[in-house]
Amino acid sequence: MDEAARLLAAIEWTYADGDPVACAELARRIAVAGRTLDKFLNYTELVEGVTFRLPNVADGHSFEIHEWTDLNRALIGDFLGRIAADSYQQGRFLASALVIGKESSRPGEGFYGLAEDVGLLRSSNETLRLTFWFEHARLARAWYAANAV
């Protein structure tokens, strides 16, 4: 196991581990987008119609995300981190590269932060960050095209 894989496996996910059903649905949506050569999902598309039920949010009651509060951003970041960690274990790519902001048309800072935290990205240079993102999107598409999920 490489160092990044070891570090990713050691992360404790605050929210994502509390709702495996929602996590699986988000991962499925990313995989579907990954099979399409030119498709990225924006965050709103990713969560549209997904019901979350987390023991540490809303007293465990089910809810959907309709607005981007700080809590909702943290929730989705945690789920995307978990999905990226899993995809890295399976195919050495960060699946969250396929999820972007509607206005920015890029992944959020959480994508880059996770990559930096585990040593996959060692620069804040914008060109290197974009190259890293494009490479992980390419790797994700290739992996999803070859593997049924």
What are 39-69's pLDDT values in tens digits?
899 999 999 999 999 999 999 999 999 999 9
Q: Is the dihedral of CA 127, 130, 134, 140 positive or negative?
A: positive
Which residue pairs, CB below 8 angstroms and at least 24 apart, start in 100-105? 100/40, 100/41, 100/42, 100/43, 101/42, 101/43, 102/42, 102/43, 102/44, 105/40
* Domain boundaries, position 137: 3-146
Total domain count for the chain? 1
The pTM for the full model equals 0.95
- d(Cα 25, Cα 110) in Å, to the nearest integer? 20
Task: Give the number of other CB atoms < 10 A from CB of residue 41.
Answer: 19
The tens place of each residue's pLDDT in the chain, 149 residues long, gives 699 999 999 999 999 999 999 999 999 999 999 998 788 999 999 999 999 999 999 999 999 999 999 999 999 999 999 999 999 999 999 999 999 999 999 999 999 999 999 999 998 899 999 999 999 999 999 999 999 76
